[in-house]
Structure 1
Amino acid sequence: MKQQLIAAVLAAVAWVNPALAARDVGVVYQTTKGPINIIIRPEWSPRGAERFLQLVDAGHFNRVPFFRCLDGFLCQFGYPQSKAATKQWSAIADDPKQPALRQFKRGYISFAGAGPNTRTEHLFITLGDKVESLGTQPWETPIGYVAPASMQQTVSRFNMSYGDIPPWGKGPDPQKLQGTGAAEYLKQNFPALEYSQSCKRG
């Protein structure tokens, strides 16, 4: 009983001050707008956090576009620019929902899926302070968050002018992000996109 009480207190402290969570993992992105410091919290989404760190360690996020950025909503990233790289990562199972994390907050990071158990290699950063539609699906569970300073100094400066992906907007077509000529397609049609240049633990 005493051990359970101690565990509950530590969990509460970690929620108030994430830096005190023993299992937190820091990740640093270098982007075309500057560095992004990320705190990964495995206790929030164990499977998702594990996959994300595997992607980081494999260099997956080196030179990938932030291809879908909508102010007040989200910024999506992570598509590799080759089909061979995509095939390397099979889908993982969804993580159990945690009611306390249901309401996505600005800076939360989650995998982007297309249905139950479809999370692979692309994610999004939440850009709104209260986005009711995020966190409603089984595959949308936060794996961590962008440090507030990085949200203000880097992510807030991302180009949002291209809008949503087709057919809802005139942004990049995801079907063209994973084949031959993907890099040239983006360079010619979306020259102001932001990119992750490198990503590593730190």
Structure 2
Amino acid sequence: MPTIFRGGIALLLVASLLLLGAVHVGALHRDAPPPCPPESTPAAPDSFAVALETTTGPVTLRLYRDWSPHGVDRLHCLVEHGHFDGLPVFRVVEDFVAQFGLTGDPSTDSLWAEAGIPDEPVRASNERGTLSFARNDPNTRSAQLFINLSDNPRLDTLTYNDVEGFPPLGRVTSGMDAVDAWHNEYGGAPDQDSIRTAGRAYLDRRFPELDVIEQARIVAPAE
């Protein structure tokens, strides 16, 4: 699989690199709802910063609720509940995207399998440094996100499973050099189904050099 993407992006590549992948319904834990259910997730501030401590250095994100209200509310709730602490950056495709959100704990990841938020229109472009949710079918943006490593305008209008585009939530305002340094030699090789079922043991055995988001915290609303 190529590791450099310029110009048009084939639908098959986007499907394999950005989307949530197949979910084995039999593995879901339906009796334990996720901590940020779509129907009761509180509204986030209009704008706020998230500080990430990663194995390659600090990264600061600025989120804008008017870009994607449902998406920013979900992200705020995920950070508040510590979802990103100790999280592997499991997919880094050079000049395309860096994707994360699977915890490597099968019981936790199964909670999010059907906890998608409503789809929304694209109000900002997937430029280098912007952050967007991954998705598959309609209303499946859940807990996986990606940072664009280059300008990816095709993702603004790409229609997959009758849903158009990947709405950005915000952007990296500092530390893009740390994002660029995330280990990318594995590309898209880590398998999402294997992460969900075998957890961190699978990643540690097959992909030991993956970088990690060690901690994520809300810094403050914008002045």
**TM-score scaled by length of structure 2:** 0.71
Alpha-carbon RMSD across the aligned residues, in angstroms, is 1.6
- In the TM superposition, 1:17-166 aligns within 5 A as 23-89=46-112, 90-98=115-123, 101=124, 103-128=125-150, 130-136=151-157, 137=159, 138=164, 140-147=166-173, 149-152=174-177, 154-164=178-188
The corresponding residue for 1:4 is none
Q: Provide the C-alpha distance between the structure 2 equivalents of 1:133 and 1:162, rounded to a whole number of angstroms.
A: 24
SS in 2 for 1:177: helix
What one-letter code is carried by the residue in structure 2 that aligns with 1:96? Answer: P
Give 1:106 shift.
0.5
1:194 to 2:197 alignment: no
- Find the partner of 1:175 among 168, 193, 214: 193
Larger Rg: 1
Equivalences, count: 168
Distance 1:46 1:111 in 2: 12
Matched AA of 1:157 = A
User: Aligned partners of 1:187, 1:86: CA distance in 2, in Å?
Assistant: 17
Q: Secondary structure at the match of 2:142?
A: coil
Q: Give the secondary structure class of the aligned counterpart of 2:209.
A: coil
* Contiguous gaps of at least 5 residues in structure 1: 1-21, 165-170
TM-score, normalised on structure 1?
Answer: 0.78
Structure 2: gaps (5+ residues): 1-44
Choose between structure 1 and 2: higher helix proportion.
1
How far 1:117 sits from its partner (Å)? 1.0
SS of aligned partner of 1:162: coil
Shift of 1:139: 5.5
Deviation at 1:95, TM superposition (A): 1.5
Runs of 4 or more above 3 Å deviation: none
- Percent sequence identity is 33
- Write the letter of the residue equivalent to 1:33: T
